[in-house]
Structure 1
Amino acid sequence: MISIAICDDELQELERAHRFLTRYIQEHPQYEITIHSFSAPLELLSYVTEHGGFDILLLDIYMAGMLGTDAARELRQLDDSGEIIFITTSRDHAIEAFEVEAAQYLIKPYAEAKIFAALDRVMQRINKDRRAIVTLKTSEGMTRLAIRDVVFTETGRNNYQLVHTIQGKKMEVRMTATELFELLSQNKYFVRCGASINVNLKYIRQISRDTITFDTGEQLAYPYRAYQKLKEVFLRFQMSTEE
């Protein structure tokens, strides 16, 4: 089941997006999709706080009370890692869209073909991510783990690799950083950072010359010599979300 949320404070636009999604569902019966509509960002945030996040979010940017980009930041803080498609009247917030890892940035009035193409793109990514499951031997036993849930890994005590997940869990894995990267690199967002660190670009919030800050709030010190390469890779990742 794939859950989609639409949030727009203009009723006409909300209904229009819902119609497009309904037609998309009719043309793609292979997907099980549910749609939830919200007319205010706070309504959406309240729902996510109580019930959990969505797989895909269609967010207007200019809404009364809160910008859609600000709502997206709040969603990320609530551990909603869903694919965000911004739908707006202006390109002025493209940089903020990159900061919350938006999958698409559509300008109103958008054609049905545009939103269908955006949905195709994120559906393929979601399906691929959901298939990427690895079984790891940890210090506590065998664990099945979705690669997309891994935020970063680092070498810990006794050469164990410490795996940090978006759910806030940490697990010790008996393998080298290189061996672990070979497993994680099934997901294109993983990059090496020095000899002992693997990071998921999707969860990076900020990079400084010696520290990476993730959406989980965790901070990771990394080798200074890796800064330039990591910065370049991260910028390319951000730019790849723009059409």
Structure 2
Amino acid sequence: MKKISCIIVEDEIPAAEELKYILSEYEFLNVCAIAHDGENGFNIIKSQNPAVVFLDINMPIKNGIDLATDIKEFNSDIEIVFVTAYEEHALEAFEVAALDYILKPYDEKRIKNTINRIYNKLAKDPNTEITKTINKIINKLDNTQNAIQKIPCEYHGKIILIPLEDIFYCYTENEKIYVKTYNNKYFTNYTMNRLQKKSKFFRAHRSYLVNLDNIKELYSWFNGTYKLVMNDMETSEVPISRNNVKKLKEILGI
């Protein structure tokens, strides 16, 4: 089994060494580096591109929340596990799509639960025949110069190529990516970042990409956010994060 690469970013040296020791008990994990501040940590992460980063929040130079945002912008597939002594940052951790949030002092049983989540998500062999086939199609499409016109998806054991114009939105649910058409949804191996680059869909929210050609209406929701109402069978509603409202209004000319 290929080991899962991990990096620890923790400004307290004893805490970093303790966490490294705990993680070393799991043979499928490989702690390949430790950084003691956010800036150095980000440089290491960019050079090594690990699968998982265990990240403190209160650190010098760059705090953990800001670093997590930078990590997700660099590579959204990197899993973030916060390790902190403070409960009050849990909502912020959720907003940057952290895999887990562990409180200090370390509880080995609690960490074991986190490691199980990492194992289930990253270490189990995903290479079913249909997944292999979809990945081959994706890689072939990625190597073409022209923007793709269809997204390969899985549906009831079959591979279906969904035309971009038939897609209303793409979204994340239970750590999987789905493509929503007028009356159905399909699983895809594309990440949200890859879908955005290939389709040019609008990033309404961290968890949603929207085909603006298939919007029915939008309305003000709360605290500066909006919701899009899609023109699909269910008239689905898609949230727009506050940071993206201005950008959408500029695109729509409103």
TM above 0.5: yes
In the alignment, structure 1 residue 225 sits paired with structure 2 residue 214: no
The alpha-carbon deviation at position 44 of structure 1 amounts to 1.5
Query: 1:65 aligns to what SS in structure 2?
Result: coil
Which of residues 74, 99, 109 is equivalent to 1:78?
A: 74
User: Paired residue for 2:36, among 10, 33, 39?
Assistant: 39
The residue aligned with 1:135 is: 133
**Contact 1:135–1:143 (CA under 8 A) maintained in structure 2:** yes
Q: Distance in 2 between matches of 1:220 and 1:78?
A: 24
Q: Secondary structure at the match of 1:106?
A: strand
Q: Does 1:175 align with 2:189?
A: no
What's the counterpart of residue 122 of structure 1?
Answer: 118
Deviation at 1:199, TM superposition (A): 8.2
Task: Compute the RMSD of aligned alpha carbons.
Answer: 4.1
The answer to whether the Cα contact below 8 Å between 1:57 and 1:83 also exists between their aligned partners in 2 is yes
Larger RCO of the pair (alpha carbons < 8 Å, separation 6+): 1
What's 1:237 paired with?
none
Supply the distance in 1 between the matched residues of 2:111 and 2:98 (Cα, whole angstroms).
Answer: 14
Q: 2:8 aligns with which of 6, 9, 14?
A: 6
- In structure 2, list runs of 5 or more residues that go unmatched: 153-158, 194-200, 216-227, 240-254
Question: 1:92 & 1:111 partners in 2: Cα distance?
Answer: 19
Structure 2 vs 1, CA of residues 192 and 119 (structure 1 numbering), >3 Å: closer, same or farther?
A: same
Distance (Å, rounded) in 2 between the aligned partners of 1:119 and 1:107: 15
Partner of 1:212: 203
Structure 1: 5+ residue stretches without partners = 26-30, 150-155, 164-172, 205-209, 232-243
Q: Distance in 1 between matches of 2:125 and 2:150?
A: 22
Partner in structure 2 of residue 190 of structure 1: 177
Kept in 1: contact 2:24–2:30 (CA 8 A): no
Give the paired residue count.
191
Q: TM-score, normalised by structure 1?
A: 0.62
Matched residue of 2:88: which SS?
coil
Rounded to whole Å, the distance in 1 between the matches of 2:229 and 2:125 is 31
**Closer, same or farther in 2 for the Cα pair 1:220/1:228, shift >3 Å?**
closer
Q: Secondary structure at the match of 1:24?
A: coil
1:161–1:174 contact (8 Å) kept in structure 2? no
Distance 2:88 2:30 in 1: 31
- Structure 1 position 90, deviation (Å): 1.1
Q: Shift of the alpha carbon at 1:131?
A: 3.1
TM-score, length-normalised on structure 2?
0.60
Q: Is 1:6–1:58's contact at 8 Å kept on the other side of the alignment?
A: yes
